[in-house]
Amino acid sequence: MAEAALPAVRVWRCAAHADGVFLERSQLGALIEAELDWHTAAVHHTTPMPRITTEMTTPPAPPPRARAWVETLF
């Protein structure tokens, strides 16, 4: 098991199983709070609409957004 210090919690990852993550019960509450904070901050990301002109091109596609804060950790 390898310890990983993440921004909000400390977890242990199993070297034999890539998806194996273990954490203390007290760390679960911190993980849930961090997840809720992430969703609160990610709700409204808007930018002003640009003025449309003839020389404009199609903008690039935005990067895929993580479904949850936890997904950004691994």
User: pLDDT of 16-50, one tens digit each?
Assistant: 876 788 888 888 888 888 877 777 776 666 555 66
Structure-token match 């895929």, residue found: 64
Ranges of each domain in the chain: 1-39
Instruction: Please say whether the beta carbons of 35 and 62 come within 8 A.
Output: no
Q: Is 28 helix (H, G, I), strand (E, B) or coil?
A: helix
pLDDT band at residue 54 using 50, 70 and 90 as cut-offs:
confident
pLDDT band at residue 13 using 50, 70 and 90 as cut-offs:
confident
pLDDT at 44: 62
pLDDT band at residue 55 using 50, 70 and 90 as cut-offs:
confident
DSSP element (H, E) containing 27: helix 25-41
pLDDT at 26: 82
